[in-house]
Copies of this chain bind each other. A is one copy, B any other.
Amino acid sequence: MKGIVNFTPGPSQLYFTVEDHVRSAFKEGIPSLSHRTKEFESISKGTTDGIKELLGIPSHFHVLFTSSATEIWERSIQNLVATKSLHFVNGAFSNRYYEIAAQLGKAPKKIEAPAGHGFSMDIPYEDGVELIALTHNETSMGVSLPMNFINQFRDQYPDAIIAVDSVSSLPYPQYDFSKIDSLFFSVQKGFGLPAGLGVWIVNDRCIAKSEELLSKGLSIGTYHNLPTLLQHGKKNQTPETPNVLAIYLLGKVIEDFLRRGIQILRKETEYKAAILYQALSTHGLASPFVADPLHRSSTVIVAQSGEYTNAIAQHLATQGLQAGDGYGERKATQLRFANFPAHSKEQFEKLVDELEKIK
């Protein structure tokens, strides 16, 4: 509803410019624009160029569109793994990525961290690993992987594809693209858009791997296999009729982000995270679920609120602040707060003020 700030981690609060962009889209005929026109190609190019600029993506990476990040879990295993992927699992979403690999008949292996904890920096070596699956930000738990954890895999697994799920953290994290091969997100979280579009960023190693699997007679899917996505992507096209409106809106919001400046967005994210973690650390009724600051997410902040969960959520609701439920079995004992560009400093300051009132 209007006037309510939605802190659910996704779908989350819309970025404040989205409704205006939708209005412009209707004026320009975007919702009924054929995807086989020069006009669509120009919109699509604008969006992919914007993503590359915003995230500092080198030119040998390709930006491809799917319908969700869930789809990318499936497509990335299909296209990049013949047999073995290695998954770092610390919550429901990283575990789902692992399960999808098993469902596709692969032999995935997982390394688990306890709830609310990160992984040891001392990563084990496993033979025959073709893909390392890392969930930068585990949305269910509010645990984030430190960048130097992600960046050490290239040396230890030089032959593996390093795949990073950044669904609930981008555009905040700054990746070293020499250390990763595949990165993906969906638009309904940090980009503040309606759900219905996934973005998959891959380098030529990924393309080569998918072609290798295909040449060995393995199924890599059809209209959304990597070679087909790339063949259309190079022409700023998509294999199927895509969510044209979402591609347009993503481009517009990225223009807004670029105008504000990615460094400012990052600093604001850190400021908002800092004041909320500070408030939770000194709160009598709730505390940060992730104890170690090194592993705390900046973009999905989880409060351990136990028996006070309902009381806190209800107080916030009276002030127009909609906290996200805890995930799964922690629904009744935790609250989650998305910290995306759509959530302003003022809204976070109000959130902290209201939390202070009930401690």
B10 with A31: CB separation less than 8 A: no
Q: How far is the CA of A104 from the CA of B188 in the complex (A)?
A: 31
Complex contact B194–A31 (CB within 8 A)? yes
- Are A32 and B19 in contact, CB atoms less than 8 angstroms apart? no
* Central interface residue in A12, A30, A103, by most chain B CB within 10 Å: A103
Number of copies: 2
User: Does A121 sit at the interface, judged by CB under 8 A?
Assistant: no
User: Quick check: A245 and B194 within 8 Å, CB to CB?
Assistant: yes
Residues on the B chain within 8 Å of A2, using CB: 26-27, 29
Contact with B along A198-224 (1 / 0, CB 8 A): 000000000000000000000101111
Interface stretch, picked from A142-150, A236-244, A307-315, is A236-244
A2 to B242, CA, bound (A): 22
Task: Decide if A79 is an interface residue (CB 8 Å cutoff).
Answer: no
Residues of A8-64 whose CB lies within 8 A of B: 8, 10-14, 18-19, 22, 26-35
In angstroms, Cα B70 to Cα A34, docked, is: 16
Interface residue tally on A, bucketed by range = 35 or more
Determine whether the beta carbon of A196 is less than 8 Å from that of B242. Answer: yes
The reply to whether B194 and A68 contact each other, CB–CB distance below 8 Å, is no
A196 pairs with B29, CB closer than 8 A? no
The answer to whether B68 touches A195, judged by C-beta atoms less than 8 angstroms apart, is no
Q: When A194-B31, A221-B74 are in contact, do A244 and B26 touch as well, CB less than 8 Å? A: no
Please name the residue on chain B nearest to A96 by beta carbon.
Answer: B223
A243 near B196: Cβ-Cβ < 8 Å: yes
Residues of B near A222 (CB, < 8 A) are 73-74, 99-100, 103-104
Report Cα–Cα, A322/B30, bound state, in Å: 15
Most buried by B among A197, A246, A324: A246
| Docked pose: A241 CA to B193 CA in angstroms | 13
Q: Which residue of B lies closest to A342 (CB)?
A: B32
Taking a contact as CB atoms under 8 Å apart, the answer to whether A104 and B219 are in contact is yes
Q: Are A194 and B71 also in contact (CB < 8 A) when A1-B29, A35-B11, A219-B105 are?
A: no
8 Å CB contact of A196 from B14, B26, B245: B245
Selected from B70, B219, B241, the residue in CB contact (under 8 A) with A188 is B241
Q: Which of A71-89 contact B (CB under 8 A)?
A: 71, 73-74
**Cross-chain contact A196 with B13 (CB below 8 angstroms):** no
Which chain A residues have a beta carbon within 8 Å of chain B's beta carbons? Answer: 1-2, 4, 6, 8, 10-14, 18-19, 22, 26-35, 67-68, 70-71, 73-74, 99-100, 103-105, 186, 188, 193-197, 219, 221-224, 239-246, 324
